[in-house]
Amino acid sequence: MKELFCYIKSFDMKNLFYTPTQNIFIQFFRYVFVGGIAFVADAGVLWLCSLKLHYLVSAAAGFIFGLFVNFLLSKFFIFTEKKNSVSMEFLVYAVIGAIGLLFTELLMYLFTDVMGVYFMLSKVITAVLVLIWNFIARKIILYRSK
């Protein structure tokens, strides 16, 4: 954690965002940053699709788009080591993402239909919870250190 704060304090963007690292705090910081960009893509597709489609269908479309954005940015900024072929890595990444999509759909339904929360606010709450699941699962299953 000290290393992360040192990079933030010194505004060292290269080490904060790009230099390969096994430091879990820096990786999580990057994952939240990348996840924020993917969330904007996801929420944008959700909102656009919801103009014509049911919000749960729209949430699935947004999640899938966000998954692609997240994978590409994560490969570049966070989990840069090459352990498998890119197609195999994306397959495992997508399976973890599909579980995250199930969580997303369930939580969106619970927050929106059961609790009466506006669907875009439900998306924000859900995204935070699913982000934590995705990071932990991908770190343990796909990108664990030897």
pLDDT in tens, 4-30: 888 888 888 888 888 888 888 888 888
pTM of the model: 0.72
Find all residues with CB under 8 Å of 145, minimum gap 6, and list them: 22
85 domain-assigned: yes
124 domain-assigned: yes
29 domain-assigned: no
42 domain-assigned: yes
Separation CA 55–CA 98 (nearest Å): 18
50 domain-assigned: yes
Beta-strand ranges (E) seen in the chain are none
| Domain hosting residue 101, numbered range | 34-142
pLDDT in tens, 42-87: 989 999 999 999 988 998 899 889 989 988 888 887 877 766 688 8
- Exposed/middle/buried for residue 132 (C-beta within 10 Å: 0-12, 13-18, 19+): middle
Separation CA 143–CA 65 (nearest Å): 22
18 domain-assigned: no
